[in-house]
Amino acid sequence: MSQRNATETAAPLTVHPPDRPTRLPRGTTNAVGLTLGLIGDEWNLLILRYALLGARRYVDWKEALPISDAVLTRRLAALTEMGVLMKAEHRARSRRFDYVLTKRGRDLWPVLLTIWAWESAWVAGHRERLPRMVHRGCGREFMPVLGCGACGLPVRAGDISGGFGPSGTWSRSVPAATTRRRSQPSGEAGLFPETMALIGNRWSAALLGAAFQGAHRFRDFERWLGAPPTIVSDRLRVFCELGVFVQTPGGERAAWSSYRLTEKGRAFHPVIMTAVDWGQRWFRAAEGPALVYTHRACGQDLKVRLLCDRCDAVLRGTQVAVLLD
Model pLDDT for residues 99-126, shown as the tens digit of each residue: 999 999 999 999 999 999 999 999 987 7
Q: 302 or 256: whose pLDDT is higher?
A: 302
Which stretch of 185-199, 237-251, 289-303 has the lowest confidence by average pLDDT?
A: 185-199
Class of domain 107-323: mainly alpha
* pLDDT score for 322: 87
Provide CB contacts within 8 A for 196, sequence distance 6+.
40, 42, 181, 190
Structural domain spans, the chain: 107-323
Name the DSSP class of 192.
S
Give the confidence band of 185 by pLDDT, cuts at 50, 70, 90: very low
Q: Give the number of other Cβ atoms within 10 Å of residue 120's Cβ.
A: 16
* pLDDT score for 255: 57
Per-residue 3-state assignment (H helix, E strand, C coil) for 114-180: HHHHHHHHHCCCCCCCCCEEEECCCCEECCEEEEECCCCCECCHHHEEEEECCCCCHHHHCCCCCEC
In the chain, % of residues over pLDDT 90: 74
- Rounded (5°) CA angle 303-305-308: 155
* pLDDT score for 57: 94
At residue 164, what are phi and psi to the nearest 5 degrees? -65, 140
pLDDT in tens, 281-293: 999 999 999 999 9
Can you say how many angstroms the Cα of residue 41 is from the centroid of all Cα atoms in its chain? 9
pLDDT at position 92 over 90: no
